[in-house]
Chains A and B, each alone.
Chain A
Amino acid sequence: MLRFISGRLLKAVVILICITVLNFFLIHAAPGDPAAVMAGEAGDADPAFLQQLRERFGLDKPLYVQLWIYVSSVVQLDLGYSYRQQLPVLQLIGERLPATLLLSLSAFVISLGLGVAAGAFASARQGKWADTIISLVALIFYATPLFWLALMGVLLFSVQLGWLPGFGYETVGANYTGLARALDIFLHLILPAMTLGLFFMAVYARMTRASMLEVGRLDFVKTAKAKGLRPGVIQHRHVLRNALLPVVTLAGLQAGQLVGGAVLIETVFAWPGIGRLMFDALSQRDYNLLLGVFVVSAAMVLLFNLITDVLYRLVDPRIKVAS
């Protein structure tokens, strides 16, 4: 297992370095002076600062030297400086990362939990009205633009009904501490996490349902029926366990989309995470910050993938560690 994890970690590091190289070429492919692109001011940045950037990244040296300087500074966790915010990019991201992790992990748990439950429930009642309704709802959520769902959630639960806060991470100026603060954050988390979760719930529900129906036709399920096991036991112990494997794989693949969804959700709910930071970077043309957020979100996705890979191996004893 250790060898497997270290192998996967190595792969993740290689991918991250490739992303850095991609970033480098993006900066150079962008219209305009690379120094101006990095400064994010498109021409009217402080000339002294531009000169400083040119010297630091060797922008008058050959391209491969520049590439080396850029990649090695990112590898040393130096993501550059946000000229707009007057702070190092890494520090800006570090401050916002916990909020994004809280949001995306809650959404992940909600979507996987509800999705698998709904899919399993639907497959056990194949062709009945409960199945039809669940399948239809999943189909609709799957086609809904995430940001629109979020807006409609705010409109209904926050503006119309006034049940939940639709804005921010906690009540501004309330200065809660301890448990009261945790509760406050929890209340603010419900709407964004549910919206982000509902979209992915649809994906997992469809997958779980299809996968369970497929496994349900296999021979060992017939054997279990012939043994006289109760249908509930067969569904839980035999079918669901085997049907979950493709769902776990899918969960890893969807991690990238979850992070992308977080950008939209954080923008709508003014959630102070790295997605919101990306939006700010966009509106201020702060490319250094934008690319920094991109690298960090890619790293997050790789971490999610690694976790699901490890989970996959724990769930499925058939896969030998050596393979």
Chain B
Amino acid sequence: MKDFWKRFSQNRGAVVGLVILLLVVVLSIVAPFIYTKSPWAMVQRPFIPPFTMDAFVLGTDPMGRDLAAGLAHGARVSLLVGLVSTVVSLLIGIPIGAIAGYFGGWVDDLLMRFTEFFQSVPSFALAVVLVAIFQPSIYSIVISIAVVSWPPVARLLRGEVMSLRSREFVEAAVLSGQTHSTIIWRQILPNTLSPIIVLASMMVAAAILIESSLSFLGLGDRNIMSWGYIIGAGRTVIRQAWWVSFFPGLAILLTVLALNLVGEGLNDALNPRLARKGR
């Protein structure tokens, strides 16, 4: 653990990313306590520019809603959607990749053709179609992000499992009469954890981008204030009120950047032998 932290902190970008990420997490936790009113509530006159009123630091939107409150509440939505959809795509991708890599042969062929199919479909367009057909809601958004994001997980897992499959400790487990599922769960999967963690951190970032894009297109959950929704709502008044679209976009940019930086840091810390390769 000490080694891990030492290697992680050697990557200055990763430390900066971690600090930004922690700030966003804290913001998402304290949001309901600071901004007790609903972010949808109209609290002042519309179009107050930012940094002109102390009570409304980031100004108000065309409906007179507090932009700072919207941003704070949106942080939780972005992080949660990113996290949950990543977990769901891991739940799809890990079994598929593990089974394909472990059993090989026709099973592998079949599962990989299936994976390739999902990789050759334009992913964002598929996500749009899925959310539109199943009606926009937080569930359909999470599911469709997961459906378009799992193929890289399956491919990564398959490769890892294939190389672990021929290692001595796995052969020993086979000879000792352990069942396939025990071998996969106890022997193989724990050894694939570090690349999965690295990939997952980048996937959360990508999921946040997809969620914001869907909300921007009007495919967000109507009951939830999200960063993408605010940008979409501010789009029509961009000439009069630049700040409505500017700040949420900046928030997305910083959060996604932070997650990617943390991902690179995790890569350095968890895969020390590979880490310095590409630098």
Instruction: Say how far A48's CB is from chain B's closest CB, in angstroms.
Output: 25
A93 at the interface (CB under 8 A from B): no
Instruction: Say how far A257's CB is from chain B's closest CB, in angstroms.
Output: 7
Nearest residue (CB) in B for A287 is: B133
Nearest residue (CB) in A for B260 is: A143
Contact with A along B198-234 (1 / 0, CB 8 A): 0000000100010011001111000000001001000
A267 at the interface (CB under 8 A from B): yes
Q: Check if B129 sits within 8 Å of A301, measured CB to CB.
A: no
Q: Check if A294 sits within 8 Å of B124, measured CB to CB.
A: no
Q: A213-B279, A298-B125 are in contact. Are A26 and B213 (CB under 8 A)?
A: no
Q: Check if A298 sits within 8 Å of B120, measured CB to CB.
A: yes
Secondary structure of the B side of the interface?
A: helix
Q: Whole-angstrom distance between the alpha carbons of A264 and B128 in the complex?
A: 11
> How many pairs, one residue from A and one from B, have CB atoms within 8 Å of each other in the complex?
132
Q: A152-B246, A283-B218, A291-B129 are in contact. Are A256 and B121 (CB under 8 A)?
A: yes
Q: Check if A143 sits within 8 Å of B123, measured CB to CB.
A: no
Q: A152-B249, A256-B122, A283-B218 are in contact. Are A145 and B277 (CB under 8 A)?
A: no
B4 at the interface (CB under 8 A from A): no
Q: Check if B209 sits within 8 Å of A256, measured CB to CB.
A: no
Q: Check if B123 sits within 8 Å of A140, measured CB to CB.
A: no
Q: Check if A282 sits within 8 Å of B238, measured CB to CB.
A: no
B100 at the interface (CB under 8 A from A): no
Q: Find chain A residues with CB under 8 A from B134 CB.
A: 29-31
B253 at the interface (CB under 8 A from A): yes
Q: Find chain B residues with CB under 8 A from A294 CB.
A: 122, 125-126, 129
Interface size class of B (residues with CB under 8 A): 35 or more
Q: Check if B238 sits within 8 Å of A145, measured CB to CB.
A: no
Nearest residue (CB) in A for B252 is: A145
Instruction: Say how far B264's CB is from chain A's closest CB, in angstroms.
Output: 9
Contact with A along B247-258 (1 / 0, CB 8 A): 011001100110
Q: A151-B231, A268-B235 are in contact. Are A139 and B260 (CB under 8 A)?
A: yes
Q: Find chain A residues with CB under 8 A from B209 CB.
A: 145
Q: Whole-angstrom distance between the alpha carbons of A47 and B253 in the complex?
A: 48
Q: Check if B125 sits within 8 Å of A148, measured CB to CB.
A: no
Q: A256-B120, A294-B126 are in contact. Are A148 and B132 (CB under 8 A)?
A: no
Nearest residue (CB) in B for A264 is: B213
Within 8 A of A (CB), among B14-39: none
Q: Whole-angstrom distance between the alpha carbons of A18 and B231 in the complex?
A: 35
Secondary structure of the A side of the interface?
A: helix
B239 at the interface (CB under 8 A from A): yes
Q: Whole-angstrom distance between the alpha carbons of A253 and B278 in the complex?
A: 21
Q: Find chain B residues with CB under 8 A from A110 CB.
A: none
A261 at the interface (CB under 8 A from B): yes
A39 at the interface (CB under 8 A from B): no
Instruction: Say how far A146's CB is from chain B's closest CB, in angstroms.
Output: 7
The one of B132, B205, B279 in contact with A287, judged by C-beta atoms closer than 8 angstroms, is B132
Q: Whole-angstrom distance between the alpha carbons of A302 and B117 in the complex?
A: 11
Contacts from B to A (Cβ < 8 Å): 13, 117, 119-126, 128-130, 132-135, 205, 209, 212-213, 216-219, 228, 231, 235, 238-239, 242, 245-246, 248-249, 252-253, 256-257, 260-261, 277-279
4 new A-B contacts at CB < 8 Å, known A264-B217, A290-B132, A300-B122: A142-B260, A151-B238, A256-B123, A290-B129
| 15 intermolecular pairs with C-beta atoms under 8 Å apart | A29-B134, A143-B205, A143-B257, A145-B253, A145-B256, A151-B231, A151-B235, A256-B120, A263-B124, A282-B132, A282-B219, A291-B129, A298-B125, A300-B122, A302-B120
